[in-house]
Structure 1
Amino acid sequence: MEKYRHVMNSTIALLSPYFGSFPFWMPAFLLSCRDNPGIDWHIFSDNRQPAEKPDNVYFHQMTLEQFKGLVSVRLKVIPPISSSNLIKICDFRPAFGIIFAEYLGQYRFWGHCDIDVVWGNIFSFVTPAILDSFDIITSRYKLLSGSFTLYRNTPQINSLYSSIFGFNRLVTHAHHYNVDEKHMSRLLKALNSSNRIKQSLYFLGRAKCSGNPRVYWERILTTSGGYQRNSSAADWQMKWEDGRVYGYYGEEFMYLHFHKLKKIMKSIDFSYADNPGRFLLAADGLKQGKWQ
C-alpha cells in the first residue's frame, strides 16, 4: 500500500497522461507540486520516473498503446491516438474519472492538468468553502480549462461526459475537437440554463442528465495566452517563490501557464535536488537569479 499512501490523506488527484520525452522544465514543475500538500499528481507515461521527485507525485509506467487499451475497455470506443496527434488525448479528459477510476480511491475531487505550468499555492485559491460548494472548479472565466479543471469524484459527475452532444463521434475521429474545454462547457451551460428552449436545442430529444452541476468559473486563476503574448521578451519574467507564483506585474496567480512562451524558452539552470527557494520564468528559460 506504500504506493498509494497519499490517496487516503489527500483531497485532490490531478491526472496527466504524457507520452514522449519529458520537457526540460520538469524540475520546476515537480518543485511546485511538492509545496501543495493535500494534492497528488498522477502522471501516466512511457518515461522512466525521475530520480528525484516529491512524495505527492506518482509516475505510472504506461505506454501509449496501453493507455488506448484502457480507454477502449472503459469507454467502449477505439481512440484514434498516435504519436503524431497526442493532443487528441485531451478530448478524453472529461472521462478521466471513468478511465482512471482505479487510481482515484477516496479522493474528493479528481482533475486534469497540463505540465507546462508552475504551480503556486492552490488551496489559497481553491478554498475549502469552494470545494464544499461546487462540483466542478476551473481556472478560466465561464469556460473550462484544459490546464486545470476539477470534478467532484462521484458517479453522477464522473459520467457527465456521456451527455456531451455527439461524444462518441467526437472522440473516435482523429481531429482534435477541444472536447475538454469547448464541448464540456457547452454541456454545463445547457444544464444550468433557465431557458428551456436552449436546453431542448442542446439535448434534441435525448434524456437530460439529472441534476445541475454547480460550476465555479468565476475567476481567471492563471496566465492566459494573451497575458503571455503581451509580455516583452526583453523584460518578461514571472516568479515562483516559497510555493507561490507571481506574474510580471507582481500579481499572485494560482499557477503560471506558459504554453505560449515555451516555444522560445530554451533551458533550466537548476535541478530538483538543488531545491531553490525561488526561481524566475524568463524569456530564455527558467533560472535562479536576481529579482528585478
Structure 2
Amino acid sequence: MEISTPNNVILHKYTLADFRACVIDRLRLDGNFVEPYKLNDFKPAYGLLFEEYIAGYDYFGWGDIDVIFGRVDHFLKDLLGKWEVLSFSEFLPSNHFLLLRNTHRNRSLFQQIENYRTLLQSPDHQAMDDVAFSSVLMSQPNVWFEELHSTPHIHWRTWLDGTFNFPTRWTWNNGQLTNNLDIGYEFLYFHFMVWKGGYRDYYLPSPNWEGLPASALIVDPAATAFTLSPDGLKTKAGDKLRPLLKAGLDASPVYSLRRRLRIKRIGLGL
C-alpha cells in the first residue's frame, strides 16, 4: 500500500528480522531473541544501529507512534544548535520524542550504561531507555531537560498550572496543537497513551478508547484539523493560526478563579 507523506518524511522498510541482523552485526550481540517490546531497550543504541539513515543530519532521535505533533519548528528554532540533548520531560529522557546532536560521541553514549551488553542481551525488558540511560544523559555537558507537558494524567506529575486537572480534548489545526483547558497556549506534542486503554499504574483513571469502533479512531489524512478526546478522533474544519504562548517555554497559566470555572465547566472537577 502506498502511503502519502510530507516532503520532509522518508519511510524505510525495515523488518524485525532486519533489526535482529543489525544487532548481531553492529553490537556483536545475539539479536535472535529480540521481540518488539525489547526495542525500547535498544533506543539508546539507535544512533549506532541506524547510522547510515541519519548521516548528514544535525540531530537524531527517536519517538513513539502514539504522539500528535504540533509546530515542531516553531518550538525548537531557538533550541536547535545550542544543546547536545533535548528532552521535553524534566526528570527523565522524553523517549516519546528525544533529540541528540548527531555526533559519534552521542551515538555511542549508550556504551556508558553500566553492564549495557548484559542488559541488552537479556530477553526481558530492562527499561534501559528510561532508567539506565537517564543518568548517562543528565551527566553530560550542555543538555536541556525541561517539562513541556506532553503527557497528561501521570499521577505524580502536575499539569501546566501546577494542579492535577488535565485537558479532555485536544485540537490539531494546520499544525498548531491546543486543548480545551490551557487557553492561549499551544503545545509541542501530545502523547495520548492514557486514552489507548489498558492498565498503567502511573496514570490516573481516565475514560479511554477501549470499546470504541475502529471508525472512531480514523481521520482523513488530508484533513486540515481534527480533535482527540476520550470519544475518539473527529475531523473538523481548519482555522487560521493564532499567536499563542508556547507551553513549557513561556509563562505558565495562573490557577485563578477564571481557570477554576473553566475546569468545572469542562467536567474535570475541582
Q: Same fold per TM (> 0.5)?
A: yes
Q: Separation in 1 of the partners of 2:148 and 2:127?
A: 19
Structure 1: state its 5+ residue gaps.
1-47, 192-211
Deviations 1:112-152 (A, max 9, x none): 0111011001122222x322221010110131011011011
Give the structure 1 partner of residue 45 of structure 2: 95
Matched-pair contact (CA < 8 Å) for 2:85–2:144:
yes
TM-score, structure 1 length as denominator?
0.67
Deviations 1:65-92 (A, max 9, x none): 111111221111123322xxx2210111
Structure 2: state its 5+ residue gaps.
198-207, 239-265
Give the structure 2 partner of residue 271 of structure 1: 220
Q: Separation in 2 of the partners of 1:152 and 1:56?
A: 19
Q: Separation in 1 of the partners of 2:152 and 2:129?
A: 17
More contact order relative to length (CA 8 Å, sep ≥ 6): 1
Matched-pair contact (CA < 8 Å) for 1:91–1:171:
yes
Q: How many aligned positions are there?
A: 214
1:131 to 80, 92, 114: 80
Give the structure 2 partner of residue 175 of structure 1: 124
TM-score, structure 2 length as denominator?
0.72
Indicate the SS of the match to 1:131: coil
Indicate the SS of the match to 1:66: helix
Judged with a 3 Å threshold, the aligned counterparts in structure 2 of structure 1 residues 239 and 49 are, in CA distance, closer, same or farther, namely: same
Residues 24-173 of structure 1 mapped to structure 2, 5 A cutoff: 48-50=1-3, 52-79=4-31, 80-82=33-35, 86-127=36-77, 129-173=78-122
The Cα shift of 1:220 comes to 2.3
The Cα shift of 1:270 comes to 2.6
Judged with a 3 Å threshold, the aligned counterparts in structure 2 of structure 1 residues 160 and 49 are, in CA distance, closer, same or farther, namely: farther
Q: Report the AA paired with residue 122 of structure 2.
A: H
The Cα shift of 1:105 comes to 1.7
Give the structure 1 partner of residue 196 of structure 2: 262
Indicate the SS of the match to 2:62: strand
Structure 1 residue 252 corresponds to structure 2 residue 186:
yes
Q: Which has the higher strand share?
A: 1
Give the structure 2 partner of residue 220 of structure 1: 148
Q: Separation in 1 of the partners of 2:51 and 2:57?
A: 11
Q: Separation in 2 of the partners of 1:241 and 1:114?
A: 21
Please list every run of at least 4 consecutive aligned residues from structure 1 whose deviation after the TM superposition is greater than 6 angstroms: none
Indicate the SS of the match to 1:187: helix
Q: Percent identity?
A: 29
Q: Report the AA paired with residue 282 of structure 1.
A: S
